[in-house]
Amino acid sequence: MDGEKDWWALVGGRSRVGRRLAEILAPRHNLLLTSARPWAGEEAWLEGLSTGLRTCCWDAEAPEIGPTMMADLDTLGPGLPKFASAVVVAGDFAVQPFGVWEAAGLERLWRINLSFPMLAAQALAPRLEAGGSLQFLLDAAIHRPFPSRLPYTASKAALAALVPGLAKALAPDLRVVGHAPGTVLVAPGEDEAALARATPLGRVGSVEDLARALEYAAASPYLTGEVLTLDGGWHLGL
Ligand SMILES: NC(=O)c1ccc[n+]([C@@H]2O[C@H](COP(=O)([O-])OP(=O)(O)OC[C@H]3O[C@@H](n4cnc5c(N)ncnc54)[C@H](OP(=O)(O)O)[C@@H]3O)[C@@H](O)[C@H]2O)c1
């Protein structure tokens, strides 16, 4: 543990956006990283982060995930200062076109994109320091729905609706902020050039853009209950 650094939690800090966020944040923060899968095989990458680290395996589809989160944090608790910020990154970017929706697929999406972030918030809030921030990764699609991912869009809009209510519930000690990014890491099969052309600023974003917003929100004691949209103007259309 680097005593000079504060502690951040990244729920979903192992792959793609979460992984890149861990790499960007590690020079300034000690990190608790969670993944849905066991961390075996990631030793070298974790070592390479060169910061204070703890890891947990939190799978949204595990039956007792809520109590598991609480128990893991209780176990870590004594050796761990309170978190300055906890970021819920995890979320499934599922393609589910209207007409082929089925209960199991929708319920799985709600579990990963809604129940899991809410349970993580409930488990982490008591372990945030005074003035600390709970941050949720949403999507700019809450303003401009993805036609082939309407359930995904709805799940993020529901999580966005949680932000003001949770902010009031946790004030004055804690703050709650949502982030609605546009594309910050192109998904496999997506056309980056086309996404850039569809954005007034003429480019897709980067995880660095997102990390800047997360650190701004964590460092802004007068900010709570807001959703910050970070998408180069994409949701405005051209
Ligand atoms: N990529 C973008 O440009 C972009 C834009 C806007 C919003 N976002 C949001 O940013 C977040 C990360 O995006 P991404 O592109 O990295 O997503 P991704 O590649 O689809 O990765 C999915 C993320 O969700 C976690 N996850 C999946 N199933 C899980 C489960 N059963 N239990 C717990 N965690 C589970 C994964 O954790 P493991 O790796 O541990 O499995 C991983 O962190 C998502 O919430 C997404 O909606 C991304």
What are 38-79's pLDDT values in tens digits? 999 999 999 999 999 999 999 999 999 999 999 999 988 777
Q: Is 155 in the pocket of ligand 1 (CB under 6 A)?
A: no
Is 226 a member of any domain? yes
For the stretch 167-191, pLDDT in tens is 999 999 999 999 999 999 998 889 9
Q: Is 132 in the pocket of ligand 1 (CB under 6 A)?
A: no
Task: Report how many domains make up the chain.
Answer: 1
Q: What is the CATH number of the domain that holds 25?
A: 3.40.50.720
The packing angle between helices 116-124 and 150-170, to 10°, is 20
Is 44 a member of any domain? yes
Is 24 a member of any domain? yes
Number of CB atoms found within 10 A of residue 130's CB: 8
Residue with structure tokens 């697929």? 105
pTM, two decimals, is: 0.97
Is 69 a member of any domain? yes
Please say whether the beta carbons of 49 and 1 come within 8 A.
no
Substitution site in 89, 138, 209 for ligand 1 pocket (most atoms within 8 Å of beta carbon): 89
- The SS3 call for residue 101 is coil
Q: What residues make up the domain containing 147?
A: 6-236
Is 1 a member of any domain? no
End-to-end CA gap in the chain: 47
